[in-house]
Structures are given as C-alpha cells and as structure tokens.
C-alpha cells in the first residue's frame, strides 16, 4: 500500500463516517429525546440540556420518562392509528403482490409489442404525483359514498403501487429462464399451472424485494391517507400530522415525538431483517430493468 | 407413434421473417435434424411444432391431425431445452415425475416409470439430488429422462448438447442415438453443429434465413450439396470454394486456370473438399487433374493428418495431407485438383450446376 | 403467450391502473373546467322587539340542493387556469406593464402562488437530483472499499434516511434545527445571536429543505450504485489495470461507464419523486417561505371554510401533470429506445 492509497483510504473512511453520523444521529437523538420532557427536548436555555436531561430530572425525578408514550398511545389513542396502518399496509402489500406477480409475469413472457406499451404507460403513471390523483378521487368518492373507508384507501394505494410493482417484477421474471415454464407446458401444464407449479416456487426473492418497496409506499404515505380517510380511520402518519396541530397548543409536542419514534421502529426492524434482499433485489430487478 | 407435417409455415416478427413458407414432412420414427446457423429459424420452427410459439401462417399436423390451435400440453410432444429447464425446487425424482403427476397418470405406475427412465439415462444414484447439485451433463440427462418418462409421440430437442463440454458432448450424443434406437420415437433435433447432425440424423434439413436449403441423408448432404450455402456450411473444414469464369471449358480466375470443365460459359464457383485435392501429386498417377503452384499460407497438425492452407484468388483453401507431410510457411508447392472431385455452382444463383463431367 | 392468456394474467393489474390512475386523471381534467357554485343568498326579515331589519344570509338548503343537483359545480372553461391562483395571465400582463426592469417583474411573478410554487418545485428537483447522484456514487464507492465485516452494519445505517417516512424524517430534522432544538440552540450559542432562526429566512428555509431532500434521497442512489458495483465486469477492470490505469483511471473508464445506465435510472426516479415534493413542507412547517405544486393542491382541499376547492385543485393538478410530462419526455423517450422490443431470432 503506497502513501497515495492510504490517503485515499482515510478520505473514503472519513467520508463514510460523516455520512453514517448524518444518517443516524437524528434518529438516535429523537429516540433519546423521546424519553425526556419537552423543556429538555426543546432546550431554550442550554442545548446541553437535551443530552443530559436536566429538566427531566427536575420535573419527573428520573433520568427518563415515558410520559410522551403514555400520552400518545393511551390518551390520544395512537394504537388505533397503528392498527389501521397495520391493516392498510398488510392488505396493500398482499394485494399489490398478487396482482403484480400475475401482471409482471405476463409482461415478461408476452413477446408482443403491446406488453412494451403497457410498461411505458406504467412508467408514465409512476411519474404522476400522488396528490394530483387524489384531486381526481375526492369528488367521485364523495358522490359514491366511498370516501373515508380503509378499503377505499387500500385499493387506491394498490393501484398507485402497481406501476412500480409491475416494473420490478417484470424485470425479475425476465431473469427466470423461459425454458422453465415452457418445459412445464410441454410436460402437460396450462400456462396458469406452469405459473403455479414452476414459477411460484422460484419467484420469492423478487417478490420479497418488491413487497418491501410496496410496504414502504403504503406505510410511508401521507398525501393519500391524509385526504382519503376520516379521522376515526386515520393511519399513523396523518395522525402524527394532526398531533402537531393539536399537540402544539396543549404544549405536548412530546406526544408527537413519541409517536414518531413508535412509527419508526417497524421500519428499522424491516431494514434490519431484509437488508440483503433490498440490495440483491435491486441488483436483479431495478438494475437490469 | 407419429409423423409431423408442416405446410407453408411462416413466422414473422414485424418485418423480420424467421420462418418463410416452410413445408416439410417428418416420417414416423425418423430422426430428423434441423441444421443451420444461429438465426436461421430452426428453433422457431421447433417451438411452433411444440406450440410454444404461434405461427403467422401455415399449418402443423401431428399424425395428420391439425394442431395449430392446441396448447403445448395437448400435443403430446416432449421437449429437451438447451438450458435444460429443470425445476430448481424439485429433486431429480420429482423433476422426472412431474409430467406424470401433472397429466394425472395412474400414481401407482409413477415410481416404476420414473426409475425406468432414470435407469435408461444412468441417473439412478442421483434421484434425491437437487438440480443445483448436478453437473451439466447430469442435468442434461435429467431433462432427457423427463422427456422419455411419459413415452410421448414426438421428441423435440433444442440444441441439447450445446451447453456441455466437448468430451461430454460425444458421450451424450451416443446416448441420444441409443435412446432413439431403443424407443423408436419420431425425433426432431435442432442444432447448429454439423457433426451432431451428421452423426445422429436419418435425414438432415439444412435451413438458412427461414428457408430450406436441402433435405437429405447425411451423406447426400455431404457429397452433393445443392447450393453454395450448404457447400460452405457442411464439412469440417467446409468445402473449398473459388469463384471465377468458365470460358471454352476452361475455369479461369485472375491467378489460376483449370482445364476440362464441359459446361456452358458463365460465372461459376468451383468447390472441392480438403481431402479430395492432393499436394505434390505422384507423377505416375493417371488422374485427369490440374496442377497449380502456390506458396503455403499455414500448416497445422491435426493428429491423424496435416491441414495445409493456401490463398488462391482471395479464398483460403485447405488441403488435407498425410500426417508425416511437412513444409514451411512460404514454400511453393504444387497442388493437384482432380476434375472429378469438383462441384460446380452458378455464382449468380448459388445453385449447383448439373453434373456434366 | 397468446393474447387471451395474456389478458387473463394482466387484467386485475391493468384494471386497477385504469380505474385508479387513468380515470382519475380524466376526472381531474374535467373537474378543472368547473368551479364551485356561488352560495345562494337570501334576504330575510329579522324582527326583534326593536323593529324589523332586512339581512342577507346564505340559504343553506338551496346551496346544498344546488350542490346535490350538480356536484361538479358550474362550467367555467379555462377560467380557473388563468385566474390569479394559477397561470395568472392578467396579473402577468399587468406586472410586465408596470414593473421597471426584469428584476422587479420577476419579483412580482414569484409572488403569485402558482409561480412561487413552481419555482420552488423546479429548484428542488434540479438541485437535489444531481447532489443525490454524486453523493450517492461516492458513498457507494467508499462502502465498496470497506472490509466486509463492516459492510453490513454500514449499509444498514446508510439506508435509514431513505426508508423513513418522509413526514417523520422531516419532522425529526425540523425538531433538531428548531430555534429551541439541539442544533438550533447550538448555533445560537455559537453565533451568540439568540434570534438566529433557520425558519425565519426564506433562503435558509429553502436550503434546509434541499438538505433534507438530499439526506432523504441519497441512500437510494447509494444502494442502486452499490448494487451496480457488484456487477462491474472483473475482466474489463483487470485489463484496465494491466493497461496501466490507476485507481482514478479505472473509475473513470470502467466503473463510471458501467454505472451510467443506473445513473439514468436514478435520475428518472429522482425527477419523478422530487417533482412531487410535499411532505417536507408540511413537516418543516415551511409554507410561508416555500410552497410546492403538490402543496398547493393539498392546500386547496384543506382551506376554504370547509369547502374543498375542487376546481382550483384540479387545475393545479393538470398543470402539475403537464409539468411532469415535460420533464419526463426525454427520459421516457430514452427508455423507449433502450427497451424497444428486440426482434426475436431463431
């Protein structure tokens, strides 16, 4: 290793270190702060209070307090929003993957020109800002009495998710050799049986990656859930936004902080467990597509 | 058992013609090889027969029944794919059994039939392995076993040996030939490798750009190529071709001239095989030959013989000599091309000129 | 695959996209041509012991009835498009006539809600996207050089800003840079200026939003590039080494060309995603200094005494869709060329 190379190493290491700090500190700080009282989290007198929690000790007597979590989960019934998020996310992931695998498989195997045009249309649909679609939904949904229900939101999120799902799965299925389903068809399967017996058992890596991205879309959405759901049916993200309006008045931002930390935990778990699938899935899918 | 008839079969993708008005009859129990360079439409033809590709026009008959509209599963064909198409989630036993299971044949017979098929391709000790744990040759044999297990009417094989190394190719080739002899099933075999075609086929169909160039037994194809394409494609090395003019029974190019061609004047290409020309001919031999003196371009020892090549009128000409033969690159030698070994082709149409010698 | 089979597989997906993407776009375009009914006023005599007075009030019943009869509102043609809140043609003309010099004119223009939002949206898109690609590329290179036991944890941490809910991510940063938050008060104590606030200045707010955008999107570019780096052809890299290329030369001549299609892919996705910037404005509570097109639409639904301004929102939506289409055209044409179905052979 010559001198120039070791300089390069130091440079690249410090660059990474900087990014790791930028990427992690906001979360660590919010997690830490969520167990403090508001006057520590927002510490006007001395920024060091946020770290040492001086006010927390004075106000509650302990280093940490769970007041924020109790307020959010029990007083403000955040569990309801969490439950709704759970229902919406699970349904969206399941339905999008079901539709997406069928469609993506057909697109990968069609060989006709129109399959290509469907993909281009999907690409254009993918570009539409979600909120512009919402302005198309609201009036008809009001008129038809569909507005406000979880099921409507689920279907809308599935549809909005389809273009991306189709692209991902299309490129994934294109990497599965055609020989596989074709030999199944010669062996005596219909196209659908070939899909069921031969393709489904080998498609899980691609489906898991696509499912992760569907999950993120449904879980993280704000524009659609905020505008399409009644207050009672709200999911976590719009609920947090509405905390800000009401909580700030009551001087209880800490509810929102606690809710934010609670909503982030599942995302952390997800990346921890599926990190490998995200990286390898992108290699197989998006990178080639 | 079955025969296959193709009538005016065409397949187009946009402006690209893969198969052009092809008609062909494959006889019952025949081993027919479709031979041609890549992109000649041979695989497409096979896939249309299997029902994996839809023809643009024309008809396919299996046993005189029109099958155009039938799904692949209803055509009772078995196919062996180039990349094997094994189901990675099933072990060898399940792979071979799959066609029986999916066709709902009597479950009691499954075990016996799977074992029998595995035995025929010598796979019995690998039945419990996953495809990922097999070598290329073993995978290919699983694909074969899966094809023979349900005793179909027709075998289709799409370049089954092209992913194997040279040594395995020879042994698997022999195995395929043996299997065909034992099972007596009509077989259509697609390859770009003329040695496979020559060794396996009852009849060979040479295809280029979606059009049949010649149909015949291997020796007919080798001995009497019907046009320049077949002449240049078949044989290892392919036939030597020199283009020039016939004038007054004399073949002439800018650099050489050969006597004794009793045909009409015009642009022709003469062809002769590497083993038919002779270097430094024995003067006592009474052959009606023409002699040319040229420098050696390259010399390669093949083991059983020596290949000597020359550049004549812009073409690379190879001539087989005895393995003891030796010369240096650049040495001027005399070569002798017997008239009787020459094939004549019309340079404009590429077609063989009727033998008049 | 025969057409019929294809249809059997694709129809649920196609139907979902048709009904919930294509149809709403059409519904939006129709709505944009209509405007809410005016409220029907009625004059009633309001009698009190001190005498009768005529007052005007909204006839709720009649208003509701009118709304029920024709929920779209009344036809307005392109009126909504040209009003002050959208393309504002007459205001533009007036500003052009009355302003001295270009600067004043532009200042006038960027005070109009649509142009203000458009200018932020475009700046956000075209500042964040290149930064994301460049920083993402260097992080990918650097992570690829790490010893393998460090790679996993580093990738995990590097991905966090991407997977976080945009609203939550912006809230977290917002709380930190708030005048009373840890960074905000830290800066105040450094500069010894108790009134220093990133929120107060429009320029600082814009920069703050850009920084958030880069922070949030860089991991995506990083992970795609990182995945691409795993597929760099070793042969080409090794022949570059033998040909005498140093580390920079290898990067320049082998790695960058190999990752180029990915950079196109990332910029495609980034332009789409950044053009719809919305959540950070809510999270940072930044609407006073920075608005985006998406935010305008949201605002039309949230403001206006409980009445949603469907016509106005729809017109902004249509303009946004047109904007996205213009931005996407070159990339889509490129994708179209690259993915044009190759002709089947043999």
pLDDT digits (tens, 9 = 90+) for B105-118: 888 999 999 999 99
pLDDT at residue B284 greater than cutoff 50 = no
| Better-predicted residue by pLDDT, A69 or C334 | A69
- As a whole number, mean pLDDT of residues B238-266 equals 83
Q: What is the pLDDT of residue A233?
A: 86
Q: What is the pLDDT of residue C345?
A: 33
What is the pLDDT of chain A when averaged over all its residues? 84
Q: What is the pLDDT of residue C346?
A: 32
pLDDT digits (tens, 9 = 90+) for B305-317: 899 999 888 889 9
pLDDT digits (tens, 9 = 90+) for A118-139: 988 898 888 888 888 888 888 8
pLDDT at residue C68 greater than cutoff 90 = no
Q: Which of B243-252, C219-228, C292-301 has the lowest mean pLDDT?
A: B243-252
Phi/psi of residue C40, nearest 5 degrees: -85, 125
Instruction: Give how far B197 is from chain A: nearest CA, Å.
Output: 23
Q: Strands B77-80 and B154-158, how do they pair?
A: parallel
| Better-predicted residue by pLDDT, C185 or C289 | C289
Contact A23 C325 (CB under 8 A): no
Confidence band, pLDDT 50/70/90 cuts, at residue A1: very low
Domain boundaries, chain B: 4-229, 237-346
Domain B4-229 architecture: 3-Layer(aba) Sandwich (3.40)
Q: What is the pLDDT of residue C122?
A: 93
DSSP per position, B203-230: EEEEEETTEEEEEE-HHHHHHS-SBHHH
Percent of chain B whose pLDDT exceeds 70: 96
Confidence band, pLDDT 50/70/90 cuts, at residue B228: very high
Q: Residue A130 CB: number of other CB atoms within 10 A?
A: 18
pLDDT at residue B267 greater than cutoff 50 = yes
Q: Which of A77-91, C278-292, C327-341 has the lowest mean pLDDT?
A: C327-341
Pick from A182, A187, A202: CB nearest B88: A202
- As a whole number, mean pLDDT of residues B325-335 equals 85
Confidence band, pLDDT 50/70/90 cuts, at residue A289: very low
Listed residue (B334, B338, B333) closest to B287, CA to CA:
B338
CA B22 – CA B209 distance, rounded (Å):
11
In degrees, to the nearest 5, what angle opens at C-alpha A252 toward C-alphas A246 and A254?
A: 120
- As a whole number, mean pLDDT of residues C146-151 equals 85
Q: Which of A33-42, B230-239, C93-102, C122-131 has the lowest mean pLDDT?
A: A33-42
Contact C346 B41 (CB under 8 A): yes
Burial class, B3, CB count within 10 angstroms (exposed 0-12 / middle 13-18 / buried 19+)? middle
pLDDT at residue B102 greater than cutoff 50 = yes
pLDDT at residue C211 greater than cutoff 70 = yes
Percent of chain B whose pLDDT exceeds 90: 34
Give B16's contacts in chain C (Cβ within 8 Å).
343-345
Q: C39 in helix, strand or coil?
A: coil
- As a whole number, mean pLDDT of residues B50-68 equals 90
Listed residue (B284, B283, B282, B280) closest to B294, CA to CA:
B280
pLDDT digits (tens, 9 = 90+) for A65-115: 787 888 778 877 888 889 999 999 999 999 999 999 999 999 998 878 888
Angle of helix A253-284 relative to helix A150-174, nearest 10 degrees, comes to 30
For A:215-254, CB contacts with C below 8 A are 216, 219-220, 222-223, 226-227, 237, 240-241, 244, 253
Confidence band, pLDDT 50/70/90 cuts, at residue B33: very high
Q: What is the pLDDT of residue B253?
A: 84
- When scoring A1, A7, A14, A19 by the number of chain C Cβ atoms within 10 A, the one with the most, hence best to mutate, is A19
Q: What is Dmax (Cα atoms) for chain C? A: 105
pLDDT at residue A284 greater than cutoff 70 = no
pLDDT digits (tens, 9 = 90+) for C40-65: 777 777 777 777 777 777 777 777 77
Q: What is the pLDDT of residue C343?
A: 41
Q: B237-346, which class in CATH?
A: mainly beta
Residue C137 · residue C220 · CB < 8 Å? no
Q: What is the pLDDT of residue B105?
A: 87
pLDDT at residue C133 greater than cutoff 90 = yes
DSSP per position, B94-139: HHHHHHHHHTT--HHHHHHHHHHHHHHTT-GGGTTS-GGGS-HHHH
- As a whole number, mean pLDDT of residues A157-174 equals 91
pLDDT at residue A153 greater than cutoff 60 = yes
**Which chains have at least 3 CB atom pairs separated by less than 8 Å from chain A?**
B, C
Listed residue (B65, B47, B63, B64) closest to B9, CA to CA:
B47
Per residue, the 3-state secondary structure of A170-200, as one string, reads HHHHHCCCHHHHHHHHHHCCCHHHHHHHHHH
Q: What is the pLDDT of residue B259?
A: 79
Q: C346 in helix, strand or coil?
A: coil
- Which pairs from A2-8 meet CB under 8 Å and 24+ separation? A5/C247, A8/C247
For B:254-293, CB contacts with A below 8 A are none
Give A265's contacts in chain C (Cβ within 8 Å).
none
Sign of dihedral through CA atoms B172, B173, B176, B177? negative
Residue A210 · residue A169 · CB < 8 Å? yes
Nearest residue in chain A measured CA to CA from C144: A12
Confidence band, pLDDT 50/70/90 cuts, at residue C123: very high
What is the pLDDT of chain C when averaged over all its residues? 83
- As a whole number, mean pLDDT of residues A37-42 equals 76
Phi/psi of residue C48, nearest 5 degrees: -125, 170
In degrees, to the nearest 5, what angle opens at C-alpha C312 toward C-alphas C311 and C314?
A: 65
pLDDT digits (tens, 9 = 90+) for C162-196: 888 999 998 888 888 876 777 777 777 777 777 77
Confidence band, pLDDT 50/70/90 cuts, at residue B1: low
Confidence band, pLDDT 50/70/90 cuts, at residue B238: confident
Domains of chain C: 35-74 (no CATH), 76-103 (no CATH), 114-339 (1.10.3720.10)
B23 at A interface, C-beta within 8 A: no
For A:184-213, CB contacts with B below 8 A are 184-190, 193, 197-198, 201-202
| Better-predicted residue by pLDDT, B194 or B355 | B194
- As a whole number, mean pLDDT of residues B259-286 equals 77
| Better-predicted residue by pLDDT, A201 or A50 | A201
Give B143's contacts in chain A (Cβ within 8 Å).
183
Q: Which two tokens stand for residue C266?
A: 């990332």
DSSP per position, C51-75: EEEEEEEE-HHHHHHHHHH-TT-EE
For B:94-113, CB contacts with A below 8 A are 98-99, 102-103
Confidence band, pLDDT 50/70/90 cuts, at residue C309: confident
Percent of chain A whose pLDDT exceeds 70: 90
Q: Which two tokens stand for residue B235?
A: 């044989």
What is the pLDDT of chain B when averaged over all its residues? 87
Q: Which residue's entry shows tokens 């007052």?
A: C55
């Amino acid at each position: 290793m010559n001198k120039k190379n070791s300089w390069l190493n130091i440079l690249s290491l410090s660059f990474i270190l900087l990014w790791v700090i930028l990427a992690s500190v906001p979360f660590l700080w919010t997690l830490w702060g969520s167990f403090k009282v508001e006057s520590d989290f927002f510490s006007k007198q001395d920024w060091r209070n946020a770290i040492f929690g001086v006010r927390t000790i004075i106000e509650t007597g302990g280093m940490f307090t769970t007041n924020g979590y109790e307020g959010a989960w029990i007083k403000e019934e955040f569990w309801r929003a969490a439950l709704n998020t759970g229902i919406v996310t699970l349904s969206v992931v399941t339905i999008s993957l079901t539709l997406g695998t069928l469609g993506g498989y057909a697109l990968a195997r069609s060989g006709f020109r129109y399959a290509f045009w469907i993909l281009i249309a999907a690409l254009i649909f993918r570009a539409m800002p979600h909120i512009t679609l919402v302005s198309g939904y609201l009036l008809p949904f009001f008129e038809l009495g569909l507005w406000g229900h979880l099921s409507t939101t689920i279907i809308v999120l599935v549809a909005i998710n389809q273009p991306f799902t189709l692209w991902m799965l299309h490129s994934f299925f294109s990497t599965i050799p055609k020989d596989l389903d074709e030999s199944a068809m010669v062996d005596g399967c219909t196209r659908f049986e070939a899909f069921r017996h031969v393709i489904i058992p080998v498609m899980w890596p691609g489906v898991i990656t696509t499912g992760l991205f569907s999950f993120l879309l449904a879980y993280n959405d704000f524009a659609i859930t905020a505008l399409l759901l009644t207050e009672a049916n709200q999911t976590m993200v719009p609920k947090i936004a509405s905390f800000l309006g009401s909580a700030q008045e009551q001087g209880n931002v800490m509810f929102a902080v606690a809710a934010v930390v609670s909503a982030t935990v599942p995302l952390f778990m997800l990346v921890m467990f599926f990190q490998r699938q995200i990286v390898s899935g992108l290699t197989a899918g998006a990178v080639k597509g | 058992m079955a025969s296959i008839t193709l009538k005016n079969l065409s397949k187009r993708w946009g402006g690209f013609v893969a198969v052009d008005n092809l008609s062909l009859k494959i006889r019952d129990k025949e081993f027919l090889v479709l031979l041609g360079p890549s992109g000649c439409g041979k695989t497409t033809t096979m896939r249309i027969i299997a029902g994996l590709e839809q023809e643009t026009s024309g008809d396919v008959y299996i046993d005189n029944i029109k099958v155009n509209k039938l799904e692949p599963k209803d055509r009772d064909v078995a196919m062996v794919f180039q990349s094997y198409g094994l189901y990675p989630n099933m072990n060898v036993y399940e792979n071979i059994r799959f066609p029986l299971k999916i066709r709902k044949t009597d479950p009691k017979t499954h075990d016996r039939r799977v074992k029998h098929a595995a035995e025929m391709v010598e796979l019995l000790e690998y039945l419990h392995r996953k495809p990922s744990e097999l070598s290329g040759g073993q995978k290919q044999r699983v694909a074969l076993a899966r094809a023979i297990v349900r005793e179909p009417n027709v075998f289709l094989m799409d370049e089954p040996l092209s992913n194997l190394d040279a040594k395995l190719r020879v042994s698997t080739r022999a195995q395929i030939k043996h299997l065909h002899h034992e099972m007596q099933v009509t077989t259509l075999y697609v390859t770009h490798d003329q040695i496979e075609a020559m060794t396996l086929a009852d009849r060979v169909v040479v295809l280029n750009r979606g059009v049949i160039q010649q149909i015949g037994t291997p020796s007919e194809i080798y001995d009497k190529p019907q046009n320049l394409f077949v002449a240049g494609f078949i044989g290892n090395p392919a036939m030597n071709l020199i283009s020039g003019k016939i004038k007054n029974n004399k073949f002439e190019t800018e650099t050489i001239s050969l006597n004794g061609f009793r045909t009409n004047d015009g642009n022709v290409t003469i062809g002769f095989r590497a083993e038919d020309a002779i270097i430094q001919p024995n003067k006592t031999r009474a052959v009606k030959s023409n002699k040319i003196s040229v420098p050696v371009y390259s010399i390669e020892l093949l083991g059983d013989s020596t290949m000597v090549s020359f550049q004549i009128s812009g073409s690379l000409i190879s001539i087989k000599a005895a393995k003891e033969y030796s010369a240096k690159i650049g040495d001027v030698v005399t070569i002798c091309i017997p008239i009787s070994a020459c094939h004549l082709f019309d340079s404009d149409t590429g077609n063989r000129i009727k033998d008049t010698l | 695959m025969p057409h019929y089979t294809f249809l059997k597989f694709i129809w649920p997906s196609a139907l979902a996209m048709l009904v919930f993407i294509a149809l709403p776009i059409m519904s939006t375009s129709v709505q944009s041509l209509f405007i809410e009914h005016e409220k029907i006023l009625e004059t009633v005599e309001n009698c009190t012991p001190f005498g009768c007075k005529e007052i005007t009030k909204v006839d709720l019943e009649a208003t509701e009835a009118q709304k029920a009869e024709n929920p779209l509102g009344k036809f307005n043609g392109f009126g909504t498009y040209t009003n002050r809140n959208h393309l504002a043609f007459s205001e533009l003309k007036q500003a052009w006539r009355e302003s001295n010099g270009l600067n004043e004119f532009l200042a006038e223009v960027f005070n109009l809600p649509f142009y203000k939002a458009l200018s932020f949206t475009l700046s956000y898109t075209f500042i964040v996207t290149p930064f994301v690609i460049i920083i993402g590329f260097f992080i990918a290179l650097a992570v690829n050089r790490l010893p393998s036991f460090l790679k996993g944890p580093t990738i995990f941490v590097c991905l966090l800003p991407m997977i976080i809910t945009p609203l939550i991510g912006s809230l977290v940063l917002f709380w930190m840079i708030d005048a009373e938050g840890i960074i905000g008060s830290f800066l105040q104590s450094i500069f010894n200026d108790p009134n220093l606030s990133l929120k107060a200045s429009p320029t600082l707010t814009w920069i703050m939003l850009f920084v958030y955008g880069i922070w949030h999107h860089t991991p995506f570019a990083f992970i795609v590039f990182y995945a691409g780096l795993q597929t760099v052809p070793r042969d080409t890299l090794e022949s570059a080494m033998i040909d005498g290329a140093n580390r920079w030369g290898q990067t320049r001549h082998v790695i960058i060309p190999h990752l180029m299609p990915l950079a196109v892919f990332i910029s495609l996705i980034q332009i789409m995603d950044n053009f719809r910037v919305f959540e950070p404005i809510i999270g940072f509570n930044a609407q006073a200094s920075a608005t985006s097109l998406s935010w305008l639409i949201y605002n039309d639904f949230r403001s206006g005494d409980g009445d949603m301004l469907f016509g106005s929102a729809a017109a902004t939506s249509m303009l946004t869709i047109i904007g996205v289409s213009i931005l996407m055209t070159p990339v889509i044409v490129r994708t179209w060329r690259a993915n044009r179905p190759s002709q089947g052979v043999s």
